[in-house]
């Protein structure tokens, strides 16, 4: 391996301080790993090991409690995502870092193709052009054409998940965070998604992913990082 990592996480920890209950809830502790361009790093470990917290910490949906998250930007600069300015995070989210979560959050009453085209709208792309791209991705993910103009609110779990994926993939981020992107897909659709992820790897996208199925880790991961849940006695009362 010659390449420099795109993302290197050192000593990442996250705990939640719940004021009302006067408790500290540990989530992830002392996590280290690297993510490389064109490679997929998989986070594995039992429920409660803090896998999603790591992803959310990198995206700054969670404020990391400690540790460094060094991200090498396209312009060559290195930023610590755990500490850098909120405007810098927003800019990176718009151009370089994508996140596909387990659940679809979208504006109500918005057509599916518009939901998927959102990241392109945000970059100021012409609406019709963006929609055209959205249709291509939806087609690839085998969402039937009759659904493209309908809001995804009434879709099945698997369909919603694919819409969510389409929105994450359309932006072609440099770093893509995936939180169980195939949890409710049937084997055939899962294969389509695996193929798309492999294509993105070939195009150089760095990926950090949590998969429900060990089989998917085997098929897609280049590196595997195992997390262990924090021990119970670390959950303590705040003084």
Partner 1 sequence: MEKILEVNKLTKVFGKGCPNCFDKTGPELDTNVCPDCGSVVAAHELSFDLYKGEILGIMGESGSGKSTVVKNLFFDQEPTSGHAIFYDDDKQYDLFSLNAAQKRHLRNHRFGMVYQNPHLGLNFGISSGGNIAERLLMNDLRHYKEIRERARELLERTEVLTNRMDELPGNFSGGMQQRVQIAKALAINPPLLFLDEVTTGLDLSVQAKILDLILEIQQEMNTAMIVVTHDLGVVRLLAGRTIVMKYGRIIESGLTDQILEDPQHAYTQRLVASAL
3-class secondary-structure state, position 79: strand
Could you tell me the strand order of the sheet in which 223-226 lies?
Answer: 97-100, 175-179, 206-210, 40-44, 223-226
Residue 19 found at the interface with partner 1 (CB under 8 A): yes
Q: How far is the CB of 17 from partner 1 (least distance, A)?
A: 8
Taking CB under 8 A as the criterion, which residues in 56-115 touch partner 1? 56, 60-63, 86-87, 89-91, 105, 107-110
Q: How far is the CB of 172 from partner 1 (least distance, A)?
A: 19
Q: How far is the CB of 125 from partner 1 (least distance, A)?
A: 10
Which of 124, 202, 233, 239 binds partner 1 (CB under 8 A)? It is 124
Alpha-carbon distances of 12 from 36, 49, 225, 239, rounded to whole Å: 18, 13, 13, 23
Q: How many CB atoms are located within 10 Å of the residue 95 CB?
A: 16
Q: Measuring CA to CA, which residue among 126, 131, 60, 124 is closest to residue 97? A: 60
What is the C-alpha to C-alpha distance for residues 160 and 162, in angstroms, rounded to an integer?
Answer: 5
CB nearer to partner 1: pick between 118 and 223: 118
Q: How far is the CB of 123 from partner 1 (least distance, A)?
A: 9
Q: How far is the CB of 187 from partner 1 (least distance, A)?
A: 32
Residue 154 found at the interface with partner 1 (CB under 8 A): no
Residue 237 found at the interface with partner 1 (CB under 8 A): no
CB nearer to partner 1: pick between 124 and 187: 124
Bridge partners of 13, per DSSP, are: 66
Cα(first)–Cα(last) distance of the chain, in Å? 47
Question: Which positions touch partner 1 (CB under 8 A)?
Answer: 16-20, 56, 60-63, 86-87, 89-91, 105, 107-110, 121-122, 124
């Amino acid at each position: 391996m010659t390449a420099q990592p795109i993302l290197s996480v050192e000593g990442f920890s996250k705990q939640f301080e719940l004021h009302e209950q006067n408790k500290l809830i540990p989530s992830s502790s002392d996590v280290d790993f690297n993510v490389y361009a064109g490679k997929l790093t998989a986070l594995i470990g039992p429920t409660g090991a803090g896998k999603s917290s790591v992803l959310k910490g990198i995206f700054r949906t969670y404020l990391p409690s400690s540790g460094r998250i060094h991200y090498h930007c396209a312009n060559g600069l290195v930023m610590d995502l755990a500490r850098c300015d909120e405007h810098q995070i927003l800019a990176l989210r718009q151009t370089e870092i994508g996140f596909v979560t387990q659940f679809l959050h979208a504006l109500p009453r918005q057509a599916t193709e518009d939901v998927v085209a959102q990241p392109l709208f945000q970059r100021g792309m012409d609406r019709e052009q963006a929609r055209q791209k959205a249709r291509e991705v939806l087609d690839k993910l085998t969402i039937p054409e009759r659904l493209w103009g309908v809001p995804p609110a009434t879709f099945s779990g698997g369909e919603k998940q694919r819409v969510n994926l389409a929105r994450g993939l359309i932006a072609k981020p440099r770093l893509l965070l995936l939180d169980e992107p195939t949890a409710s897909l049937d084997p055939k659709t899962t294969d389509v998604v695996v193929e798309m992820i492999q294509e993105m790897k070939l195009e150089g996208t760095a990926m950090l992913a949590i998969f429900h199925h060990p089989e998917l880790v085997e098929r897609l991961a280049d590196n595997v990082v195992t997390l262990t849940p924090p021990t119970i006695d670390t959950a303590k009362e705040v003084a």
